[in-house]
Structure 1
Amino acid sequence: MSISSRSAVAIHALTMLARWEERTLTSGEIADSLESNPVLVRRILGSLRDADLAHSTEGRGGGWRLARPPRSITLYDAYAAVETGPVLAGHPHPPSRECEVGRNIQALLEDEFREAQRAMEERLGRTTIADLVNRVLEKERELNLQR
């Protein structure tokens, strides 16, 4: 089980925008931090814009900013902005009705997966982008003390 990388990219981008809230960031700057392609980052940023989590300005000095304060954006907000379906999915085709496991497993898994999805969404809803910025800064302080 894994969330697609879109969620990780979205959360990374929002955390960067919050960390350097006083200025705009370009998709290239965010892509450099991700060591990724700016086109991928622009697609993700577009989804974040559509969800009213980020906005952009064009022209000289343009770039991306948060649309809301970082303390009001949760990891679930980022997840919901970029993911199109559940993290866990059932069989790609119906299992055998001739087998006792096959006859029953789909309904059992649907219940389990629905509950797991709910728990994940609830957990992501407890952490804000501001929380992540604080944790990033804490980790940086720890690294600087070790040097």
Structure 2
Amino acid sequence: MQISSRFTIAVHMLAALALFEDDRRVTSDFLAGSIQVNPVVVRRLLLMLKGAELVSVARGRNGSRLARNPSEITLYDVYRATALLEDGKLFHFHERPNPACPAGRTIHAALDGKLFDVQQAMEEKLREIRLSDIVTDMKAAMKKAQP
């Protein structure tokens, strides 16, 4: 199981906004070209990010902008905006293990707390990483790649 690509696509979008919004209009078509996805995917994610107050979206070809400074946006913010978690849980446990089986009867007691701890640790780490960190690393990689 993987976390949906919505998360990494959204981080890519936000980083592109931070990198380019002062130099050009950053439209959904521009973002789609950078990510190499259909513009509809970008538009849907923009709506999610707008709902989380991470971006402002102008109609038509005016483009999008960050609603906050990159240092004020954490990867946790992006995760919460895009994850679509059931009941806030990252791991969806199969609903009805067989109670007549010793494994089925005890799996929840053995695993649920551990999965909760894993999710908590991941979310705490996401809270530590800011969009500005990602943008700084991207700028360093771009500079390094220059001839």
TM-score, scaled to structure 1: 0.91
Matches within 5 A, 1:28-67: 28-59=29-60, 62-67=62-67
Q: In the alignment, which residue of structure 2 is the partner of 1:90?
A: 93
**Secondary structure at 1:65's aligned position in 2?**
strand
SS at match of 2:124: helix
Alignment of structure 1 residues 103-142 onto 2, 5 Å: 103-142=105-144
Give 2:69's aligned residue. Answer: 69
2:73 corresponds to which letter in structure 1?
I
Partner amino acid for 2:139? L
Q: Distance in 1 between matches of 2:3 and 2:114?
A: 17
Are 1:17 and 1:24, in contact at CA under 8 Å, matched by a contact in 2? no
Counterpart secondary structure, 1:98? coil
**Which stretch shows the higher mean deviation, 97-106 or 10-19?**
97-106
RMSD, matched Cα: 1.4
Aligned length: 143
Q: How does 1:16-35 map to 2 (within 5 A)?
A: 16-22=16-22, 23-35=24-36
Q: Deviations over 1:39-63 (max 9, x none)?
A: 0100000000011000012356x11
The structural deviation recorded for 1:87 is 2.7
Runs of 4+ in 1 over 3 A off after TM superposition: none
Conserved 8 A contact 1:90-1:109:
no
Aligned residues with identical type, % of pairs: 40
TM-score scaled by structure 2? 0.91
